[in-house]
Amino acid sequence: MEKYTDLVLVRNGQSLLPQPGASVTVLTSPAGLVATIYSDNGITEVANPLTTDGNGRFSFYAADGRYSLTVTYGTVTYSVLDFPLEFDPFASGAGGFVPASALASASGATLVGTSDGYGNVQTSLSARAINAKPSSSTSNYINQFLDQNGTGNGQLIGIDIEQALNQSGTIAAYQFGQTTELFTLSANNATWNGQLTSVYGSCNHFGSGNSTFLAGGGFEGFNDGAGTATQVIGVSGNAYNGGVAAGNPQQTPTNNGAALNLRGVAGHAINLSSGVVGSAVALYAYTPTNTGGGSITTAYGLFIGDQLVGATNYAIFTGHGLNNLGDVLQVTGQGALPAATNQNAFTAAGGGSGVNGTIYVGDGTGRSLNFSKRTGGVDSVLAQFFDSGSFRLAANVQISAPTKTHGYSTGAGGAVTQLTSKATGVTLNTSAGVITTNNAALAAGAEVSFNFTNSNFNSTAIMVHSVAAGTSTTGAYIISVDNMQGGVCSVCIRNMTAGSLSEAIIINFAVIQASAN
């Protein structure tokens, strides 16, 4: 007489949920007769079929033999076919261990580890599958659920492993529902050219019908309770070179090996068919879903932490192929990084009809955005945009359109009017602009000078100027600039006519910075 306990799960979207109130009929196998079942070890007979409890669970006792289950909920029916009920793993022994003798006699298991003195397994077993299919089949299975309706809507589960946790307080130790470990012995010196894979999943659709979703592996992380989870991760990948003692029996690695590549998560899209693949994506981030009434503070399609421990560090490194950004590209300056790793921060914004694109260079600390060329492995800067507002060019500027000009735009200029006389100084701190002189009389052949104060002037500055208006005679005046120094220059006006002139002369000017080296 042995005990059987199981759980009925149904699919709700992408989740598996317990099904309360499902009907479970226990049948003898292969005859398919309704079996006699008990609530205890062969004393109290119970009705068959059973009904799952509020947590979707059911259990019964039955005589040793082979059985099948038929599970029905609503309009869906599936079966658990032909499994053995041959021993009760928890009927005897200490501390909840499986009795080694019982397991060996029922399954052909071979004890690999040690015993606790009571004949119970403490370490590991090397065994064939306990729930083996009949000899007519070539594969082993555990709880193979089949959809008898032929609609494809029944739940299909190859193996179901569950573990309920009910500890209290703060639990520091790791909790695993299932662990699978593949390892080589420390003393092994073989060369492994094939893959070493601890868990392998393969989903194959050999039929001719269409398929909406095929996945070799699916993992989900749920925070279903009222507590706050620091991290909820569907799939977590870590790649270690070296580590602590591992394996069962335990191995002691030397931790001095080398790895050409460490990849926590790797994806590879492969088309081995003659058909057409519409889109091959190695790693894909879906649009976040937020439908439960809560909120998402910040949504990331891809988040990469600081990459600083290598001799050369790349947060993102790509090979050949276009890089297509569908929205704003923002690179934020990281002032806390070592000076050697500081890069020029910039933000490129814009897109859509009538929206201007903007590049913000640096943060006012002397950074620049450089445009360079590389020849023979040597970089040469062609142009630099500085966050101080200046632009430096190391190449020729050529205007190819006959209607385009080179100069200052609106906002760079200004205007000033001279007071009292043509000898009165003026001040205008702009790169270009207009000076209107006083209309005091200037005798024939006479000249007059005034000081022009401008913060853009220095010893290498050049003031380009011309008479724009305000004169009645062409060529009446010659205007010259001298004594250019820090913040000021002298402007000289000479009357070239034979008579006195009393005119307000309009002078256009522009400042160009020259260089002494």
Q: How many helices (H) and strands (E) does the chain have?
A: 1, 27
Residue 337 confidence (pLDDT): 40
| Helix H or strand E encompassing 104 | helix 100-107
Among 127-131, 184-188, 243-247, 288-292, top mean pLDDT goes to: 288-292
Q: Do the beta carbons of residue 462 and residue 511 sit within 8 Å? A: yes
Task: Tell me: pLDDT of 417 over 50.
Answer: yes
CA–CA distance, 280 with 469 (Å, rounded to integer):
69
Task: Tell me: pLDDT of 159 over 70.
Answer: no
Instruction: Report the DSSP beta bridge partners of residue 37.
Output: 46
CB count within 10 Å of CB 94 equals 11
pLDDT digits over 82-102, tens only? 888 875 444 443 333 344 444
Residue 138 confidence (pLDDT): 31
What is the chain's alpha carbon radius of gyration, rounded to the nearest angstrom? 42
β-pairing, 45-46 with 2-7? Answer: unpaired
Q: How far separated are the first and last CA of the chain, in Å rounded?
A: 102
Percent above pLDDT 90 for the chain: 26
Domains of the chain, by residue range, sit at 2-86+131-147, 314-402, 414-513
Which region among 146-160, 170-184, 318-332, 402-416 has the lowest average model confidence (pLDDT)?
146-160
Q: What long-range pairs does 47-51 form, CB within 8 A, spacing at least 24?
A: 49/23, 49/24, 49/25, 50/23, 50/24, 50/25, 50/26, 51/21, 51/22, 51/23, 51/24
Instruction: Report the DSSP beta bridge partners of residue 358.
Output: 349
pLDDT band (50, 70, 90) for residue 233: confident
Task: Tell me: pLDDT of 225 over 90.
Answer: no
pTM for the predicted model, two decimal places: 0.47
Mean pLDDT of the residues in the chain: 77
Is 101 strand, coil or helix? helix
Phi, psi of 340 (to 5 degrees): -65, -20
Average pLDDT value for residue range 293-305: 89
pLDDT band (50, 70, 90) for residue 173: confident
Percent above pLDDT 70 for the chain: 75
Q: Do the beta carbons of residue 411 and residue 434 sit within 8 Å? A: no
pLDDT digits over 36-66, tens only? 999 998 889 999 999 999 888 899 999 999 9
Of 469, 454, 449, 462, which is closest to residue 413 (Cα–Cα)?
454
pLDDT digits over 260-280, tens only? 888 888 888 888 888 888 898
Residue 149 confidence (pLDDT): 40
Q: What is the DSSP string of 133-157?
A: PPTT-SS--SS-EEETTSSS-S---
Residue 256 confidence (pLDDT): 77
pLDDT digits over 4-47, tens only? 888 888 776 656 778 899 999 999 998 999 999 999 988 899 99
Task: Tell me: pLDDT of 154 over 80.
Answer: no
Residue 331 confidence (pLDDT): 62
Q: What are the CA-CA distances from residue 318 to residues 108, 321, 322, 369 (Å)?
A: 53, 8, 9, 21
CATH topology for the 2-86+131-147 domain: Immunoglobulin-like (2.60.40)
In this structure, whether the domain defined by 414-513 belongs to CATH 3.30.2320 is answered with: no
